Copies of this chain bind each other. A is one copy, B any other.
Amino acid sequence: MTEFQFNVSATDGLARRGTIRMPRGEIRTPAFMPVGTAATVKAMYLDQVRDLGSDIILGNTYHLMLRPGAERVARLGGLHEFARWPYPILTDSGGFQVMSLASLRKMSEEGVTFRSHVDGSVHELTPERSIEIQGLLDSDIQMQLDECIRLPAERPEVERAMELSLRWAERCAIAFGNQPGKAMFGIVQGGDVVDLRVRSAERLRAMELKGYAVGGLAVGEPQEVMLRILEETVPVMPVEKPRYLMGVGTPDDLLQSIARGIDMFDCVMPTRAGRHGLAFTRHGRINLRNARHAEDATPLDEHSDCPASRDYARAYLHHLVRTEETLGAMLLTWNNLAYYQTLMAGARQAIETERFGDFVAETTEGWAKGEEARGAFRR
A residues in contact (CB < 8 Å) with B: 38-40, 42-45, 67-68, 72, 75-77, 82-84, 294-295, 297, 311-313, 315-316, 318-320, 322-323, 325-327, 329-330
Contacts and interface: CB of A to CB of B under 8 A. Distances in A.
A334 to B, nearest CB: 9
A311 B85 CA distance: 12
A298 to B, nearest CB: 11
Contacts of A45: 327, 330
A319 to B, nearest CB: 5
Contacts of A43: 326-327, 330
Tallying the copies of this chain within the complex gives 2
A43 B311 CA distance: 18
B327 A68 contact: no
Instruction: Identify the 9 closest CB pairs spanning chains A and B, nearest first.
Output: A43-B326, A40-B327, A68-B319, A40-B325, A38-B323, A76-B315, A67-B323, A82-B316, A42-B326
B84 A315 contact: no
A313 B318 CA distance: 35
A297 B77 contact: yes
Contacts of A76: 295, 297, 313, 315-316
A320 to B, nearest CB: 6
Contacts of A297: 76-77
A295 B81 CA distance: 13
Q: Is the interface of A mostly helix, strand, loop or mixed?
A: loop
B323 A84 contact: no
A302 to B, nearest CB: 15
A148 to B, nearest CB: 23
A363 to B, nearest CB: 29
B84 A311 contact: yes
A318 B82 CA distance: 11
Contact of A39 (B72, B84, B316): B316
A315 B76 CA distance: 8
Contacts of A322: 67-68
A297 to B, nearest CB: 6
Nearest to A325: B40
Given A39-B316, A76-B295, A84-B316, 4 more contacts: A39-B319, A40-B320, A40-B326, A68-B319
Contacts of A327: 40, 42-45
Given A42-B326, A297-B76, A326-B330, A68 B312 contact: no
A319 B42 contact: no
A123 to B, nearest CB: 17
Nearest to A334: B45
A247 B237 CA distance: 64
Contacts of A315: 68, 72, 76, 82
Contacts of A295: 72, 75-76
A329 B326 contact: yes
